[in-house]
Chains A and B, each alone.
Chain A
Amino acid sequence: MEVKYYLDYVASESEKLIITVAPAGGMHGKEVNPNLPLSAKEFGDAAYDCYNAGASVIHIHPRDKEGKSTSSLEAHMDYIDAVRNRCNAITQVGNGIGIKDFDKNVTGRSSFYTLEERMNLVNLNPPPDMLTINGGTFQPHGIIIMENSPQFNTEFVKRAKGKGIKGIECEIYDLSHIHNVLDLRENGILTDPIHYDFVFGMGGGMPPSPEYLIYCIRVVPQPCTWQAACVGKFQTYVMTVAMALGGNVRVGFEDNVHYTKGELAKTNAQMVERMVRIARELGREVATPDEAREILKLG
């Protein structure tokens, strides 16, 4: 990112803070935290509470009746509607869907959804406000390979845009993924402003190191928007650093089910509240969904 001296690092002069919440994810369930919202009803309630607390984007992975991740378009629509019926938060569907039989990963029986199942998400109707792509192929948590080839991403973005979806967020798990995204930009598949989500702390991805975050920020060209996400115990620290540097943040049970050391989070909203408190101390105002739409150019 072009550095205008260092004014871009004055939190209080940065854009309003966009808080994304990933309330459930497509992997772990209530076994790790009984407060994790699983059903569409629970999910919608959690999203509404987060919206009231200051979140403007809800990142969605639906579950089936057994609480497992699912590629069903109907299930996706149930969750999207559960959010839309309660508030005007931006709906964002993750194109990874989740991990099948996540609980069986030690025996090697879990797997990712097929590229066809994932591609089918562009057919959600009416579509969500945003879809995410993943910047490159990698091995999440060192379990199984998640395929995100340039060919797949190109086709996914083309089709999503054909369906009128303006908001594509690029999940960056590794420095090389930035390069892949810039290739899509070079080829005209993605257009500015690109929305980056720099993900830290997931095995197989970038470590939760400030140096990696700073590198990410420095190499992406403007105009763009960026947020940080972090899996596990470093979440609050990475988010705090991101806020101080003028970035946006993502919290939620998909990434971290603890509130502090040894203490499970009660709700997703509890985590949003903490982000809002820290943002206030840093002099950053929190964006409403409409303001976030403006910043993200979702039109």
Chain B
Amino acid sequence: MDPRLIDYSKEIKKLIITVACTGGMQGKEVNPNLPISPDEQAQTAYDCYNAGASIMHLHVRDKEGQATADINIYGEVVSKIKAKCKIITQVGNGIGIKNFMKDDPYQFGLKERIDLVNIVPKPDMFTINAGTIDTWNIVYFENPIQFNKDFLQKAKEKGVVDIECEVYNLAQVPNVFHLRDTGYLSEPLHINFVHGLEGGAMPPTPESLISFIRSMPEGTSWQTMAIGRYQIPMITLAMAMGGNVRIGFEDNVYYSKGVLSKSNAQMVEKVVRIAKELGREVATAEEARQILKLH
């Protein structure tokens, strides 16, 4: 794709806002407003939906607030969200890191991760990760191509064919094309360009974003995320260039410099205000389903 700014004389694409409300790493110790329990997550999804978000990216937690591979909790959260609103549910297949920031961090393994295809009720989307990285230089986050193929095959058998690829760096781009060319992914590709996660992701610079955009074929639906204080500048660039965005406590727990976010919805509201200044309407969940050509 050619990285260009919005040309309003032609078309302004509606903005799809994804919220990663919890993540599988940090907990309430970094921000007490981070939603942990299924009820908190469902309420968060509903509040974000009302504020303008159309996709809820999910990692769930156990009773101790730790990341968990328990598909019953996943099922409970998906079910509770679906009972409240039409937001698109998207489960991240990395699950997360148990004992994050402790002496014995544990990245959930491939067997536990592949079991996510058995979540009932099934989520609308899964994400896969296009390659292996060393998350925060703490633990290896393994994503071998054969694992991704197995995951996609099993997800398809369970009826989940809408997949977002998290791409952390340019070396992972050929992996995405390989999955497409071997029939495991179909176009339009849904790509999330990840910036600022140390240990494997591209740095949060405009050059990174532009290189990512240039690496993808025409017609790709793309969004951008960046970690921490780079979140707002990077997603603002993406919005001005017609891309979609992901925000939320998984990626950043601050609202502005030195100020913790009160809620995920508060961040959605900020994104909606910036979008409005740029003349971009915000897609409803129903519109997002059409734009992304979800099945």
Q: Are B3 and A233 in contact (CB under 8 A)?
A: no
Interface residues in A, total, Cβ within 8 A:
30
A219 on the B face (CB < 8 A): no
With A10-B233, A211-B210 given, is the CB distance from A260 to B205 under 8 Å?
no
Q: Are A210 and B233 in contact (CB under 8 A)?
A: no
**From A239, which residue of chain B is reached at the shortest CB distance?**
B240
Q: Are A233 and B236 in contact (CB under 8 A)?
A: no
A13 on the B face (CB < 8 A): yes
Stretch at the interface among A67-75, A98-106, A140-148, A240-248: A240-248
Q: Are A11 and B232 in contact (CB under 8 A)?
A: yes
Stretch at the interface among B111-119, B120-128, B182-190, B271-279: B271-279
B4 on the A face (CB < 8 A): yes
Q: How far is the CA of A278 from the CA of B93 in the complex (A)?
A: 35
Looking at the assembled complex, report how far the CB atom of B193 sits from the nearest CB atom of chain A, in whole angstroms: 14
Majority SS of interface residues in chain A? helix
**From B229, which residue of chain A is reached at the shortest CB distance?**
A10
Q: Are A238 and B5 in contact (CB under 8 A)?
A: yes
Looking at the assembled complex, report how far the CB atom of B224 sits from the nearest CB atom of chain A, in whole angstroms: 12
Residues of the A chain whose Cβ atoms lie less than 8 Å from the Cβ of B241? 210, 237
Residues of the A chain whose Cβ atoms lie less than 8 Å from the Cβ of B256? 12, 283
Q: How far is the CA of A10 from the CA of B230 in the complex (A)?
A: 6
Residues of the A chain whose Cβ atoms lie less than 8 Å from the Cβ of B203? 5-6
- Interface residues as binary, A194-221 with B (CB distance below 8 Å gives 1, 0 otherwise): 0000000000000011110010000000
Q: Which of B3, B229, B257, B279 contacts A210 (CB 8 A)?
A: B3
CB interface residues, B 2-17, toward A, < 8 Å: 3-9
**From A274, which residue of chain B is reached at the shortest CB distance?**
B277
Q: When A and B form their complex, what is the total count of cross-chain residue pairs whose Cβ atoms lie within 8 Å?
A: 97
Q: Are B274 and A281 in contact (CB under 8 A)?
A: yes
Q: Are B270 and A244 in contact (CB under 8 A)?
A: no
Q: How far is the CA of A45 from the CA of B273 in the complex (A)?
A: 29
With A12-B257, A237-B278 given, is the CB distance from A210 to B5 under 8 Å?
yes
A261 on the B face (CB < 8 A): yes
B207 on the A face (CB < 8 A): yes
B216 on the A face (CB < 8 A): no
Q: Are B274 and A278 in contact (CB under 8 A)?
A: yes
Q: Are B6 and A237 in contact (CB under 8 A)?
A: yes
With A9-B205, A12-B256, A261-B9 given, is the CB distance from A277 to B233 under 8 Å?
no
Residues of the B chain whose Cβ atoms lie less than 8 Å from the Cβ of A13? 229, 257
Q: Which of A5, A244, A261 contacts B279 (CB 8 A)?
A: A261
Q: Are B207 and A214 in contact (CB under 8 A)?
A: yes
**From A234, which residue of chain B is reached at the shortest CB distance?**
B5
Q: Are A240 and B230 in contact (CB under 8 A)?
A: no
CB interface residues, B 211-247, toward A, < 8 Å: 229-230, 232-234, 236-237, 239-241
Looking at the assembled complex, report how far the CB atom of A11 sits from the nearest CB atom of chain B, in whole angstroms: 5
Q: Which residue, of B4, B233, B257, has the highest number of chain A Cβ atoms within 10 A?
A: B233
Looking at the assembled complex, report how far the CB atom of B82 sits from the nearest CB atom of chain A, in whole angstroms: 32
**From B206, which residue of chain A is reached at the shortest CB distance?**
A214
Residues of the B chain whose Cβ atoms lie less than 8 Å from the Cβ of A278? 274, 277
Q: Which of B7, B210, B230, B270 contacts A9 (CB 8 A)?
A: B230
Q: Are B236 and A240 in contact (CB under 8 A)?
A: yes
Q: Are A11 and B233 in contact (CB under 8 A)?
A: yes
**From B208, which residue of chain A is reached at the shortest CB distance?**
A6
Q: How far is the CA of A260 from the CA of B256 in the complex (A)?
A: 28
Q: Are B230 and A261 in contact (CB under 8 A)?
A: no
Q: How far is the CA of A278 from the CA of B233 in the complex (A)?
A: 11
A77 on the B face (CB < 8 A): no
B38 on the A face (CB < 8 A): no
Give residues in A with beta carbon < 8 Å to B.
5-6, 9-13, 208-211, 214, 233-234, 236-238, 240-241, 243-245, 260-261, 274, 277-278, 281-283
Give residues in B with beta carbon < 8 Å to A.
3-9, 203-207, 210, 229-230, 232-234, 236-237, 239-241, 256-257, 270, 273-274, 277-279
Give the 4 A-B CB pairs with smallest separation, nearest first: A237-B5, A244-B233, A244-B236, A261-B8
Contacts A11-B233, A210-B206, A281-B273 known; list 7 others, CB within 8 Å.
A10-B233, A208-B5, A209-B3, A210-B4, A240-B236, A240-B239, A241-B236
Name 18 A/B residue pairs within 8 A (Cβ), A-sorted: A6-B203, A6-B204, A9-B230, A211-B3, A234-B6, A236-B277, A236-B278, A237-B6, A241-B236, A244-B234, A245-B206, A245-B233, A260-B8, A278-B274, A281-B236, A281-B270, A281-B277, A282-B233
